Structure 1
Amino acid sequence: FKKKPIRMPKRGYNPSEEDSIPIVEKLYRENQESDFLGGGFCDDDDEVQERREQISEIRQKRADAAFSSQKAPDNCEKCDKELMDSWLWQRYNCPVCDACRDDKGEHKLLARTEVKNAYLLKDCDLDLRKPALRYWAKKNPHNPRYGDMKLYLKCQVEARVLEVHGSLEDLELKKELREQTKEVRSEKRFEKKLKDLRQQIRGTTGVKVDIGKHVHNFGPETHVKEDTWKKTCRTCDYEEVFEKL
């Protein structure tokens, strides 16, 4: 019996960093004798983190290079004043000064996943359709090991929606149609599972079983005596006796 060596915490150990490690990676590490057998799962050091940041900066500069030739307008498109300081122009080529910037409205930043789901835009609509939408890459707030999060400007996304879908009204109609299609598919999957279940029951018992609530199909009412009447189901021969005043 080989005793598993005890792994001491590394220098500079931080409990908050340990909590951010995915559970699969954490369990895999605990069952390895050393980092050399860790299957590629090892603690990030400063060099690795710095290398990731360098790659992210290179990708961002490469994406921004396509927009560097655009010349800034003289005035802000909102207040018509001289466009002096504009973070929106530097980051998104949006000619709006900092004083007119509306972070909670038309200049809100939207993640790529939200853009695709809420506005029914595809990757080709964002990256291949000319001009490509400019984005801002930031570290993923959920886990720094994941890929960068791409943020888009809401007003530019809505302008792209008009190009792709025609109008916001058409977009809402397509979203409703999409939801209806999901419901139909869900119902078909349920019916298929129900059908498979019926076949399994028939195969095990040899008896035809109808799963689900039976709805009686009564025939005409028949007088029995005095105020007593009855009616019989045409499919299961169930008989119901009742009184009429």
Structure 2
Amino acid sequence: MPKRSYNPSASEEDKMPIVEKLYRENQESDALGGGFCDDDDEVQERREQISEMRQKRADAAFSSTKAPDNCEKCEKVLMDSWLWERYNCAVCDACRDDKGEHKLLARTDVKTTYLLKDCDLDLRKPPLRYWAKKNPHNPRYGDMKLYLKCQVEARVLEVHGSWEDLELKKELREQSKEVRSEKRFEKKLKDLRQQIRGNTGVRVDFGKAHTHEFGKESHVKEDTWKRTCTTCDYEEVFEKL
């Protein structure tokens, strides 16, 4: 099947992310475009349906959990609690701290900041509940999965043992990155040396600065003199008054 033609306007193409642009150009048809096609309303509606079904399946595993009688913060009767409905966190709306322990964290940030893997979030029992929301950068991209900070921190202690161990693992990861970066730099430097040596036939050492050692000066004409380095044959011409 030949690839479909795709001719966006200049303004559309300028605003379009490069990943979407390349994806569109290499699809055989809109049906295989993974959501990147021109019928935006239909595609968006289908994506929302799929997202809703996935969220319901994820929430179903927690539907049988019985709510406690009291809020674990103020110990009053647990009446209105968005945190319980969304995350099974027994904290009432009055005690909810959106900027602190009840802050919502994106999955990518959770994995980067706390060094948690997919299996730590999805497979370790019990799996962490999440709230799927549209990607704020582009609704055509996959939904963002938001996790509750206090539950993430509890999982961190299960996985890493302590905050000190987490910081140690972060340091070791940074050191590994530095070592890999140094190795890449050394390889590039070695390749450059080999390339220059192949072109000139002269060995070049970037690690040591060369200091010229000049021999005896010789007269050229009138006030012009010259001298030559005894190690690299560099010739310097100068004037004497």
TM-score bracket for the superposition, by shorter chain length: 0.7 to 0.9
Gaps of 5+ in 1: 1-6, 10-14, 217-235, 237-245
Percent identity (aligned) = 85
Verify the 8 A CA contact 2:106 2:146 in the aligned structure 1.
yes
Verify the 8 A CA contact 1:28 1:38 in the aligned structure 2.
no
Q: Specify which of 116, 119, 122 is matched with residue 124 of structure 1.
A: 119
Where in structure 1 do 4 or more consecutive aligned residues deviate above 4 Å?
A: 17-20, 23-29, 36-41
TM-score by length of 2: 0.75
- SS of aligned partner of 2:140: coil
Per-residue CA shift, 1:164-193, capped at 9, x if unaligned?
Answer: 000111101110111111111111111111
Pairing of 1:192-203 with structure 2 (within 5 A): 192-203=187-198
Change (3 A) 1:104 1:19: farther
How much has 1:47 moved relative to structure 2?
2.7
How much has 1:215 moved relative to structure 2?
8.5
Partner residue in 2 for 1:115: 110
Residues in 1 aligned to 2:181 and 2:200: alpha-carbon distance in whole angstroms: 29
Pairing of 1:49-60 with structure 2 (within 5 A): 49-60=44-55
Residues in 1 aligned to 2:136 and 2:195: alpha-carbon distance in whole angstroms: 48
Q: Give 2:107's aligned amino acid.
A: R
Verify the 8 A CA contact 1:76 1:82 in the aligned structure 2.
yes
Partner residue in 2 for 1:92: 87
Gaps of 5+ in 2: 1-6, 212-230, 232-241
Pairing of 1:162-177 with structure 2 (within 5 A): 162-177=157-172
TM-score by length of 1: 0.73
Residues in 1 aligned to 2:32 and 2:124: alpha-carbon distance in whole angstroms: 41
Q: Give 2:63's aligned amino acid.
A: S
Partner residue in 2 for 1:61: 56
Q: Give 1:158's aligned amino acid.
A: E
Change (3 A) 1:8 1:192: closer
Per-residue CA shift, 1:198-241, capped at 9, x if unaligned?
Answer: 1111111111111134389xxxxxxxxxxxxxxxxxxx8xxxxx
Instruction: Indicate yes or no: 2:179 matched with 1:205.
Output: no
Q: What do you get for the CA RMSD once the two structures are aligned?
A: 3.0
